[in-house]
Amino acid sequence: MSPANEIVVPFLKWAGGKRWFCEKYLHLIPAFEGRYIEPFLGGAAVFFALSPKNALLSDLNFDLITTYNAIRSAHVDVSRLLQIHHEKHNPEYYYATRAHKPAEEISLAAWFIYLNRTCWNGLYRVNLRNQFNVPIGTKTDVVMAGDNFEKTSARLQSVDLSVADFEETIDTAERGDFVFVDPPYTVKHNYNGFIKYNDKIFSWDDQIRLRDAVVRAAGRGASVMVLNANHGSIRDLYSGVGEQTKLARASVIAASAANRSSVEELMIFTAE
């Protein structure tokens, strides 16, 4: 594999990330000639695995998109600030840094990556004042051996990045485009209280609005792949929309195989 074709490893740990999908199911993504469109970018695992030349990447999280923009335009400066965070990291420094969000793009990107790598379980959560409030985690490495921001920056050069609602992004899809849709959801309540629990993450009205946007995009000739929880309400919502396939993945990693569990997620795929 030439350096130009090497897979770029996502630099963010993201709740609900799709590295597991890339490891087991990437072959399910069809060949396409148009744009790669992803309206819930998150950690961008699928984008980096596919490395499409033409892409539209969006998310409603302003800080997330700002971070990708900064890596694209000034990765050396972001890396320099990240090294400073690495050298200073301790509990007192973490909470002091968490409390003071920078306004400038490069500093914000380094702040965002630092907190992502050192907070509890890589979780992104804000309070009612839109302040990041996740406690410190057990990880202490801020600068990773596998970091290659130069290569990450190169992969982002030809893409469009935007802060946008998913509907706005999906509505740009045209014939020949491939849309990868991975909304926020949990599989923890696959059988009990699914709608009530997930309403705090991604409301049922949003699920309906998403389904309608997927139907419109498919009607324009785009290929659309949706990953969602394998729950009866989701299966019913997408009844008659493309093909539904169950995907198994591990949910808990433990030293003993007896303590490991697996869950099923649902893939909905539409194509001409």
| 98-157 pLDDT per residue, tens | 999 999 999 999 999 999 999 998 889 888 888 999 999 999 999 999 999 999 999 999
Which domain CATH number covers 13?
3.40.50.150
252 pLDDT more than 60: no
195 pLDDT more than 60: no
pLDDT of residue 257: 47
Query: Within this chain, do residues 56 and 168 fall inside the same structural domain, yes or no?
Result: yes
Q: What is the mean pLDDT of the chain?
A: 89
193 pLDDT more than 70: no
Strand, coil or helix: what is 264? strand
Mean pLDDT along residues 44-49: 97
pLDDT of residue 187: 53
Residue 74 resides in a domain: yes
pLDDT of residue 261: 60
Domain termination site, one of 80, 115, 150: 150
Which domain CATH number covers 83?
1.10.1020.10
Rounded to the nearest 10 degrees, how much is the dihedral formed by the CA atoms of 208, 209, 212, 213?
A: -140
Quick one: which of 37, 44, 49, 43 has its CA closest to 8?
49
254 pLDDT more than 50: no
229 pLDDT more than 80: yes
Domain termination site, one of 101, 126, 150: 150
Mean pLDDT along residues 245-250: 89
pLDDT of residue 203: 86
Instruction: Annotate 48-70 with b (16+ C-beta within 10 A) or e (fewer).
Output: bbbebeebbbbbbbebbbbbbbb
Domain span at residue 112 reads 64-150
Query: Within this chain, do residues 245 and 197 fall inside the same structural domain, yes or no?
Result: yes
Query: Within this chain, do residues 105 and 230 fall inside the same structural domain, yes or no?
Result: no
Higher-pLDDT residue of 180, 251: 180
Query: Within this chain, do residues 69 and 56 fall inside the same structural domain, yes or no?
Result: no
Query: Within this chain, do residues 266 and 169 fall inside the same structural domain, yes or no?
Result: yes
200 pLDDT more than 70: no
Q: Of 5-9, 202-206, 215-219, which has the strongest mean pLDDT?
A: 215-219
Query: Within this chain, do residues 68 and 56 fall inside the same structural domain, yes or no?
Result: no
pTM of this prediction?
Answer: 0.90
Residue 155 resides in a domain: no
Asked if 173 contacts 224 with a C-beta cutoff of 8 angstroms, the reply is: yes
Query: Within this chain, do residues 139 and 261 fall inside the same structural domain, yes or no?
Result: no
Asked if 56 contacts 169 with a C-beta cutoff of 8 angstroms, the reply is: yes
88 pLDDT more than 80: yes
191 pLDDT more than 60: no
Q: Model confidence at 192, in pLDDT bands (50, 70, 90)? A: very low
Total domains present in the chain = 2
267 pLDDT more than 80: yes
Domain termination site, one of 150, 182, 208: 150
